Structure 1
């Protein structure tokens, strides 16, 4: 299985859940995620290149997109600091769009992983529409009304 873990603390936190997965390839643009997986006993690790964003220790921009475009992913786990039904997945940094879009384009299935505190917020640049994602995984505190609105829009919502 080949999975993409987008830059951010939520994706980085997935490390313990992938500990016992065999035949795993982890692709990421997040330098902290690379460090977290460096000692994974069975994972092949691919860090996609690009310009380094020092504020969140990730690679961004055109080179990151070009690297991702050469891969085939089973799952793309996309993170976001802001998302909602009307605006989709947004970002305050234009160069972050490239990695998110490229990962979704080459993945069989794309999943947003974002906590509910980020729901209802939006930033300057739309990275993805929610209908480009198969599933949204968020925490249990997302209000029922918001979860129902998202489900009605055709996106599977998992509250964990």
Structure 2
């Protein structure tokens, strides 16, 4: 089988199955595992897939900028935000991640009792400007403009000084085996530190983020308390996530 034929087959299987296991594919094609791994390395360098231990995953597509993302899947994000907002109790300290899905959550937060919102996102803080009962604490640091969040040593020091009751995290991809990932190294470290300083961590996921992987790992899936996902996903789509033991709430 020619190299081009193998790569076409790999791309087709990746699209069909959502992952490539190098050992399994090599046995199926009666080739050496080194041959398949070389193909995967070359395809990864061409931006066609993401290499992981033992094989490959689909590469999550580059996110559009923040302003463009605000107009994407607005109904789905509103439903996720409302489901998450219903988890907030009076007097709690919640940490809101940056992103357009958590912005929908900020707009849905209860207005009938007081609580505190900590965030490292200026856009989330602005969403809460006119909220009548939320006290807002804004974490400073270097602004990562793509996601409109602060990162770096200043942000991490402030985050380590708090203990949140709930952290609502946004990610760019979630995979049952390869965990929760995002596109920036410092942003991944910031999210991980927030989760380490929260009693529980819930992940808000629009449907297109499932089954993919971005370059930088935040943490394994079982480290999260639960996932908030859109209603209507098939049992087959959710089964690999349930098997990790993570709780799933449908919006």
The TM-score range, normalised by the shorter chain, is over 0.9
Q: Which structure's relative contact order is higher, taking Cα pairs within 8 Å and 6+ residues apart?
A: 1
Which of 77, 84, 97 is the aligned partner of 2:168?
A: 77
Q: Which consecutive unaligned segments of at least 5 residues does structure 1 have?
A: none
What aligned pairs does 1:11-160 form with structure 2 within 5 A after superposition? 11-160=102-251
Mapped to 1, the partners of 2:190 and 2:232 lie a distance apart of 28
Q: Whole-Å Cα distance in 2 between the matches of residues 110 and 21 of structure 1?
A: 24
Corresponding residue SS for 2:94: strand
For the residue of structure 2 that corresponds to 1:97, the secondary structure is helix
- Bigger radius of gyration: 2
Provide the alpha-carbon RMSD of the alignment: 1.3
**Residues 44-66 of structure 1 deviation map (CA, whole Å, 9 limit, x = unaligned):** 10111111012222111232221
State the Cα deviation string for residues 75-117 of structure 1 (Å, max 9, x = none): 0000011111111111110010122111111111110111111
Stretch of structure 1 that moved more, 19-28 or 124-133: 19-28
Deviation per CA, 1:19-50: give whole Å up to 9, x if none.
Answer: 32522100111111110011111111011111
Normalised by the length of structure 2, the TM-score is 0.61
Bigger share in helix? 2
Q: How many residues align?
A: 160
Inter-partner Cα distance in structure 2 for 1:21 and 1:83: 33
Relative to its length, the structure with more strand (as a share) is 1
The answer on whether the counterparts of 1:116 and 1:141 sit within 8 Å (CA) in structure 2 is: no
Structure 2 runs not aligned, ≥5 long: 1-91
1:158 deviates by 1.3
The runs of at least 4 aligned residues of structure 1 exceeding 3 Å deviation read none
